[in-house]
Amino acid sequence: MERKNAWEKYPEGKKRDAVYEFAEDYRKFLSECKTERECVTGLIREAARAGFKNLDEMIEKGTELKAGDRVYANNRGKALALFVIGKKGFSRGMNILGAHIDSPRLDIKQDPLYEDTDFAMLDTHYYGGIKKYQWVAIPLALHGVIAKKDGTIVPVNIGDKPGDPVFGVSDLLVHLSGEQMEKKASKVIEGENLDLLIGSIPEYKDKKDDKEKKEEKKEEVREKVKANIMKILEKEYGIEEEDFLSAEIEVVPAGEARDYGFDRSMVMGYGHDDRVCAYSSFRAMFEIKKPSLTSVCLLVDKEEIGSVGASGMESRFFENTVAELMNLTGEYSELALRRALKNSSVLSSDVSAAFDPNFPSVMTKNNAAYFGRGLVFNKYTGSRGKGGSNDADAEYIAALRRIMDKNEVAFQTAELGRVDQGGGGTIAYILANYGMRVIDSGVAVLNMHAPWEIISKVDLYEAYRGYIAFLKEQS
C-alpha cells in the first residue's frame, strides 16, 4: 500500500514556508546541541521561556499543581521530562512522547593523554553502535565538562566556534594500505586505534645561563609535546592532567548541520538519531494548553548503550518524578501511581531506517520507510523473530490511524529491514513493562549512526504535527 509524498501537501507559498521555518529552527538546535548536557541546557532555557517551571523548586515550596500548569524535571543535566498537567488527574493515565538525546560518538578515556613519536594523543572509547572506519580522517570537535576537585565545572567546547582548531583520527594512506584493504570492514579500524591527534609542538624553555642549563638537564621533560599541551590547557582552562579523571568529554563531528540537496529538502547533521524526534516532541508540548490527560515529553540518555544508568530509561527517574507531581496535585498513593503508569499511552519517538536506493537488498519495499512520506510507525522492532521487541497491539494502532487521519498527518508503517537481516531496539519495551500502550514512531533517517546523518524536512514537520495530534486527541 503506497503512501503519498507529503511534499504534495505543501505547495510553494506559506504552507511550504512553515515546513522550512520549522526545519531551520531544528537545524540550529542540532548544530548547537551535540551532547546530552547541551541538549538539556538548551531545551530548559527554551522551556522556561514557554512557561515551564522547575519541579525541584515547586517541591521545595510545596506548590500546589493544577490543570494547565507546566513543569519540567532535570535529571543530572543529562535527561529531561516536561509535563502539562491534565484536567482528569494522573490516575486516568498520561499521553507520553518518549525520545532519547544521546548519540553514537567517541568518549575520551579517564587517563587519556599520552605522547608517541612527537604526537600528543587522546585515548578514546567509542560509544554506541558505530562503523569505526567512518570516524577517521574527518574533522572532530570536543564537547563536554571537566569537574575539578574544588567543585568547579569547566565547560569544554572546542572545534565548533569560528576560528577554533579541530582534531581527528588519522588513517593509513592508500599507498600503504594493501593489507588493510583486505580486512573485513569491522576490522579495518580497530576500536583501540581511534585515538585523537591533538598536537605536535614540543614545550620550549628559554635557557638563560649555564647554571640553568645544568638544572634543566637534570629535570628535562621526556614528553615535551604532551607537556606543551598541558601548558595550553592550564592557561586556557585552568586544569591539570589529573582533572581528566573526573571529565566527561565527547568527541563529535565538527561543523554545523547543513541543508542538503539542490531543493534544500533535507538536513544533514550529526545526531539526528534521536534528536530529530526529541526536538519535534519537545516543540509539540508548546502547543498543549490544558489537556484532558497530562501530556508528557520524556527525553532520556543512554539509549544507545541499553538505556542503563541513572540518566537512562531503566532508571526510576520517570516513575519517581510522576510520584512527586501526583503528590503536588494531592493525588499520590502507591496504587494511584501504578494506575497512572498502567493507563498511559506512549509514542516511543525514535528514528527509523530510510529506504536507500543504493542498498535496496536489505529491505522489502512494501514494509520500508521512505523519505517524504511522513511520520513512521514501527509496530515492532527487535531482531530475528522480533526478539527484544515491544510489538504494539492492533487496537492501539487503529486508534492512532484514526488520530492521524482526522488531523491529516502524513504517516507510514515500516519495519527495520528484512527478516533475519538485522534489527534494533528503543525505549518502548521499558515503558511497556508498566502495562502502557506503546508503539515506536519517528522520522526516517539515511546514514543512521554515521557521523553525518540525513533527514527530510517534511518528515520532521509531519512528526511534529503528528505528536501534537497524539497529545490533543489521545484522551
- List the Cα angle 71/57/34 in 5-degree steps: 60
The pLDDT of residue 444 is 96
The pLDDT of residue 83 is 98
Whose cell is 549512526? That residue is 449
Higher pLDDT: 334 or 421? It is 334
For the chain, how far is it from start to end, CA to CA, in angstroms? 29
Statement: residue 212 has pLDDT above 70: no
The pLDDT of residue 206 is 66
**pLDDT, mean of residues 108-116:** 96
The pLDDT of residue 364 is 87
Instruction: Find out whether 145 and 251 touch, Cβ atoms under 8 Å.
Output: no
pLDDT tens per residue across span 42-79: 999 999 999 999 999 999 999 999 999 999 999 999 99
pLDDT tens per residue across span 431-451: 999 999 999 999 999 999 999
- Cα(209)–Cα(218) distance, rounded to whole angstroms? 15
**pLDDT, mean of residues 326-336:** 96
- List the Cα angle 57/80/434 in 5-degree steps: 105
The pLDDT of residue 382 is 66
Higher pLDDT: 409 or 208? It is 409
Statement: residue 1 has pLDDT above 90: no
Statement: residue 211 has pLDDT above 60: no
423: Cβ contacts below 8 Å, ≥ 6 apart: 381, 382, 383, 384, 387, 388, 416, 417
The pLDDT of residue 318 is 97
Domains of the chain: 6-103+270-473 (3.40.630.10), 105-253 (2.30.250.10)
Statement: residue 475 has pLDDT above 80: no
- Cα(170)–Cα(165) distance, rounded to whole angstroms? 16
Considering the chain, what is the average pLDDT of its residues? Answer: 93
- Cα(366)–Cα(1) distance, rounded to whole angstroms? 7
The pLDDT of residue 390 is 81
**pLDDT, mean of residues 85-112:** 96
- Cα(251)–Cα(52) distance, rounded to whole angstroms? 32
Please, which pLDDT band fits residue 207 given cuts at 50, 70 and 90? Answer: low
Statement: residue 213 has pLDDT above 70: no
**pLDDT, mean of residues 117-138:** 96
Enumerate the H helices of 331-384 as residue ranges: 334-342
What is the torsion angle, in degrees rounded to the nearest 10, for the CA atoms of residue 457, residue 460, residue 466 and residue 469?
-90
Statement: residue 231 has pLDDT above 80: yes
Please, which pLDDT band fits residue 121 given cuts at 50, 70 and 90? Answer: very high
